[in-house]
Amino acid sequence: MTDYVNRFRPSQTEINRRYANTRKAMAEHGLDALIIASNEYSGFEGGVRYMAGFHILHRYAYVVVTQTDDPVVVFPKEATWVGDHSATFLKEKAFPVHCGEYINDYLKARNAKKVGIYGLEYIINVRDFTAIAKGGYDIMDFDIPFDYSRAQKSEEEILSVRHSMEVNKAGVLATVKAYREGMTEAELMGVAEQTFSAAGCGRNTMDMVQTGLNGSLRPQMVFPTNRPIEKTDGMVYGLEISGEGGHWVEYSRPLMPNGMDTITTDMMEAHQEFHVLVRENMKAGRTAQEVHKICMKPFEDRGYRSGHVCGHSIGMTMIEMPRIGEGFDFVLPENMVCSMHPHVMNEERTHSLYFQETYRVTAEGGEPLSGTAIKSYDGTETELEML
């Protein structure tokens, strides 16, 4: 049996860059150590994958970083044979019965005082956090500083991002081409999932659907069901995936076999104006808040409400900081990657429109990584329309 080598495995130069950026952020906040937590919940596996190269199949894992020691990746003992641990690029691996107790002992042995935790708000295993907290450390929530340290993607990462986008586009196109009246919502989603599985995405898909009657969409995003699709239904299959390299992208387009109603058509026109503004204004040197204020104007002018942030940084973790929204004065660097997906609805909450595009920040503006038009499809198309 020949071992498969992932073509997106990071070079040593890339690994060194990641650790240099992380340790710089640690030094700026006076950390003695940083614990990076990840788990199998889709989109939350990326911290360990970024820092260790391991793709979590089940359960959870940690990377512990200091300024002087070799980093160690920590796996629960019961998961010794769950996942390919040889894929990690770190030399130091541990498989303790209790990860939290192991990490606490590790930190004590190094006389750590101030400890950052990435994943403190959403990710870290409660049992492990409880054991770590008993060490009496000054614990800092390091979610935002760590995300800021990795917001600027390297050229190696951009190659992985572009690959993920090609896979995502293939799933969207397959869904459009497969559409038939009378199919169930779940059957149509299954076409996209088959595309992603065949491309090696594994479990790294976060798929949902937004539906409505008579060329409209309800605000809520839901799991697809076995309800047969009617020709007059509106649909947006929200397809979010990461390919072999582990970088998430978000891309979808409305599927409206019988066209859009008047309100949804107006929302679509606002979305088109929004994405023109993103292409023109998502420039390196602008803040996330500035981009939000400029680009959301088409919706505000029409009196639509926002049910979601208009975008966010995206990488090996599906949702990274900053959000593209108010209160985030983070200055966008070149090669930052952002998902942009304004979720707008009318005051009555009867109509909504939400779909995604992923952008690369450049000196001139936002590069839409799909290269496709902001438009809806009716199910008769055989290709995606390019810009």
Same domain, 145 and 180: no
Other CB atoms within 10 Å distance of the CB of residue 141: 13
The DSSP letter of residue 340 is E
Give the domain-ending residue among 149, 168, 201: 149
Indicate whether 5 belongs to any domain: no
Indicate whether 4 belongs to any domain: no
User: Taking 80 as the threshold, does the pLDDT of residue 109 lie above it?
Assistant: yes
CA distance 256 to 241: 23
How far is residue 136 CA from its own chain's centroid?
33
Q: What is the reported pLDDT for 336?
A: 98
Kindly report the average pLDDT of the chain as a whole number: 95
User: Taking 80 as the threshold, does the pLDDT of residue 91 lie above it?
Assistant: yes
Other CB atoms within 10 Å distance of the CB of residue 169: 20
pLDDT-derived band at 56, boundaries 50, 70, 90: very high
Indicate whether 2 belongs to any domain: no
What is the rounded end-to-end Cα distance, in angstroms, of the chain? 44
CA distance 280 to 285: 13
pLDDT-derived band at 308, boundaries 50, 70, 90: confident
Same domain, 103 and 187: no
Same domain, 181 and 207: yes
Same domain, 264 and 284: yes
Q: What is the reported pLDDT for 369?
A: 98
Same domain, 174 and 205: yes
Indicate whether 384 belongs to any domain: no
Q: What is the reported pLDDT for 7?
A: 83
Q: What is the reported pLDDT for 2?
A: 58
pLDDT-derived band at 42, boundaries 50, 70, 90: confident
Rounded to two decimals, what is the model's pTM? 0.95
The mean pLDDT value for 194-206 works out to 93
Same domain, 228 and 314: yes
CA distance 217 to 352: 5
The mean pLDDT value for 9-23 works out to 97
Give the domain-ending residue among 149, 170, 198: 149
Indicate whether 1 belongs to any domain: no
Q: What type of residue is 358?
A: T
Quick one: which of 148, 170, 336, 161 has its CA closest to 249? 161
Q: Kindly state the percentage of the chain with pLDDT values over 70.
A: 99
Q: What type of residue is 13?
A: T
Same domain, 103 and 165: no
Indicate whether 382 belongs to any domain: no
Indicate whether 285 belongs to any domain: yes
Same domain, 176 and 59: no
Please give the structure tokens belonging to residue 60.
């959870």
Same domain, 49 and 176: no
Same domain, 204 and 112: no
CATH label of the domain that carries residue 112: 3.40.350.10
Give the domain-ending residue among 121, 149, 177: 149
CATH label of the domain that carries residue 364: 3.90.230.10
Q: What is the reported pLDDT for 4?
A: 64
Indicate whether 167 belongs to any domain: yes
User: Taking 80 as the threshold, does the pLDDT of residue 3 lie above it?
Assistant: no
Comparison of pLDDT for 127 and 6, the residue scoring more:
127
Same domain, 270 and 194: yes
Let me know: does 355 contact 382? Beta carbons within 8 Å. no
CA distance 257 to 232: 7
Domain that holds residue 161: 155-368
Q: Into how many domains does the chain fold?
A: 2
Same domain, 195 and 211: yes
Q: What is the reported pLDDT for 1?
A: 52
